[in-house]
């Protein structure tokens, strides 16, 4: 399926505006296809006894964007304060998966102080992924090349285009409808990819400034739909030089 294989990681530092401070790691990569487990069979053994923690008090968080659908019970049982997970039904072959039910169970399970977990959805906003539901809707003119790190089925896009915004807008609407607490924006560094820079320059645009504007647009849209909805940026740390970018996000990984 070509999905990114990412380890579940444990972080032992506070989450701040420009730092999800990593002090340790645990877990392993999901490298094999497996059958999806019905979220209805997942048991919340330790129900939360209160609300979630604000970001600045989050102490433990995990990031798992592959294979959660095959074995979600460990994350439900975990003590993490915040989880970053993939929306399973965004994958073409798994569109009937009940993400809303799984998210509900994850959120109702306890964090390290007995409150509820924050559950945030991973979304790659700088690349089109050929294993997602939207792939048949993706105009080939948006594609600037192959992923520079060799991820199969991942293609950096002209993210400033209206056609890409329409896809991202539909994607975040699906995330909102499943009850997630926020979004985790991957591949913000698209502006630093030479083919993207050249495509932007050919249209008289600055790719970095376009990414700042794009993140602001995403943030404004989701926060307008749901007050308190979290927006976390991954990579593209040089965007932190832009005050309006910082104002649009709640944390930076």
58 lies in a domain? yes
pLDDT score of 20 more than 50: no
Residue 102 has pLDDT above 70, yes or no: yes
For 217-226, the pLDDT digits (tens) are 999 999 999 9
Nearest to 132 by CA among 80, 178, 170: 170
Considering the domain boundaries, does residue 105 fall inside one?
yes
> Tokens standing for 132?
């997602």
Does residue 139 fall inside a structural domain? yes
The half-sphere exposure of 180 on its side-chain side, counting CA atoms within 13 A, is 30
Position 156 in a domain: yes
pLDDT tier at 4, thresholds 50, 70, 90:
very low
- The Cα 180–Cα 172 span in angstroms is 10
Residue 23: what pLDDT? Answer: 25
Do the Cβ atoms of 115 and 48 come closer than 8 Å?
yes
Give the pLDDT confidence score for residue 13 in this predicted structure.
33
Residues recorded for the chain: 253
pLDDT at 124 over 90: yes
| Residue-range definition of the domain harbouring residue 185 | 15-25+37-252
Name the percent of the chain lying above pLDDT 70. Answer: 87
CA-closest candidate to residue 5, choices 153, 171, 140: 153
Confirm whether 9 is domain-assigned.
Answer: no
From CA 82, how far away is CA 118, in angstroms rounded? 5
In a domain, 226, yes or no: yes
The answer to the question of residue 7 being in a domain is no
- For residue 63, what is the domain's CATH number? 3.20.20.70
**Residues 86-99 pLDDT 10s:** 999 999 999 999 99
Q: Please state the domain count of the chain.
A: 1
Half-sphere exposure of 146 (CA within 13 A, CB side): 6
**In degrees, to the nearest 5, what angle opens at C-alpha 178 toward C-alphas 132 and 137?**
25
**Does a structural domain hold residue 32?**
no
Per-residue pLDDT, 8:
32
């Amino acid at each position: 399926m070509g999905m990114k294989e990412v380890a579940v990681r444990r972080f032992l530092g506070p989450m701040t505006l420009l730092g999800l401070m990593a002090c340790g790691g645990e877990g392993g990569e999901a490298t094999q296809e497996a059958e999806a487990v019905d979220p209805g069979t997942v048991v919340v053994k330790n129900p939360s006894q209160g609300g979630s923690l604000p970001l600045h008090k989050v102490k433990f968080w995990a990031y798992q964007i592959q294979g959660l659908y095959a074995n979600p019970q460990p994350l439900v049982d975990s003590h993490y304060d915040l989880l970053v997970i993939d929306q399973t039904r965004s994958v073409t072959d798994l569109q009937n998966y009940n993400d809303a039910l799984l998210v509900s169970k994850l959120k109702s399970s306890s964090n390290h102080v007995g409150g509820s977990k924050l559950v945030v959805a991973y979304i790659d906003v700088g690349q089109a992924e050929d294993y997602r539901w939207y792939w048949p809707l993706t105009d080939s003119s948006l594609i600037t090349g192959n992923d520079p790190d060799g991820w199969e089925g991942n293609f950096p896009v002209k993210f400033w285009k209206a056609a890409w915004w329409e896809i991202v807008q539909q994607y975040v609407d699906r995330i909102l409808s499943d009850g997630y607490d926020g979004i985790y924006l991957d591949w913000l560094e698209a502006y630093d990819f030479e083919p993207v820079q050249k495509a932007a320059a050919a249209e008289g645009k600055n790719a970095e400034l376009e990414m700042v504007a794009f993140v602001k647009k995403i943030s404004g849209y989701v926060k307008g739909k749901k007050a308190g909805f979290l927006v976390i940026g991954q990579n593209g740390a040089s965007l932190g030089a832009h005050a309006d970018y910082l104002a649009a996000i709640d944390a930076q990984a």
